[in-house]
Amino acid sequence: MIAGVFPGQGSQSPGMASGWGAQEALASAVFAEASAVLGYDLWALVAEGSAEELGRTEITQPAMLAADIAAWRCYRAAGGRMPVAMAGHSLGEYAALVAAESLAFADAVALVAERGRLMQAAVAPGAGAMAAVLGLSDEAVLGVCAEAAEGEVCEAVNFNSPGQVVVAGDAAAVARAEPLAKAAGAKRFVLLPVSVPSHSSLMREAAARLADALATVPLVPPVVPVLHNVDAKTHDDAVAIRHALVEQLHRPVQWVACVEALAARGALRQLEFGPGKVLSGLAKRIDKNITSLPVWDEASLTAAM
């Protein structure tokens, strides 16, 4: 059985979503639909813009959503069958809900653009940071964060795979975590090129404002189960889905639990719809019984079918 997974922020790159060959018109149509909502040419920005511009959160989020859905629609147009369940990493959760027909694509574009603006506004430039800690247990990372905080915010925010946890918070606190993590035995401590400390408690105000935006957006039960980041559970009614999306913004992404829950449903073949192959790499570290394949251009789609 197949599961569909959708990457989020961090997988973007200039030129992504090109390379679809005969289906390029379908992919560009997705970006045209998003551009109509946003009021600027998203396809041109992705094709011709700089990595720095594409890395701005308020642009990254709709761009990644469009790239994920372009991959999904190309897969379905090629005759790909519906997965038995879906999940998306952080921002990718919105793509999963679109693919599962719970959330209209145009509404999702508007939502993630607003989500990006709210996140960017929540923390002053340079005041927040995120870093990947490699080679420590979850418990060890939690201990490092507690010691590094010193009255500021330093939290484990992405449980991506065994031995890979992302921390986020105030820039000074995250900086204090580096020597502590290395002293505890971390193999690497890698600062991430992001502009906001996603999924940390510094996003509480942004989450509260996102709740207002979500309240106006129609949501229906997904046609296939979507596992949510905040609890690795499925939710079928609009109130619960909205709550999960709000909580996700300021609470950790439980990606290991999501992948394990997909596998528990018998979905040991995962297709990653969107740029790169980050989630495919994580799946192999979470459960060696999972076969995960990226779908992000014509060649990878052919290989995955």
pTM of the model: 0.94
Q: Kindly calculate the radius of gyration of the chain based on its CA atoms and give it in whole angstroms.
A: 18
pLDDT at 19 exceeding the cut of 90: no
100 close to 88: Cβ distance less than 8 angstroms: no
pLDDT band at 97 (very low <50, low <70, confident <90, very high): very high
Residues catalogued as catalytic: 90, 199
pLDDT band with cut points at 50, 70 and 90 for residue 45: confident
Per DSSP, helices labelled H in the chain are: 24-38, 42-48, 51-54, 57-77, 92-99, 105-122, 138-149, 171-183, 204-214, 238-250, 255-264, 278-286, 298-304
Q: What is the pLDDT of residue 86?
A: 97
The 10s digit of each residue's pLDDT in 159-197 is 999 999 999 999 999 999 999 999 999 999 999 877 789
**CA nearest 88: which of 270, 290, 221?**
270
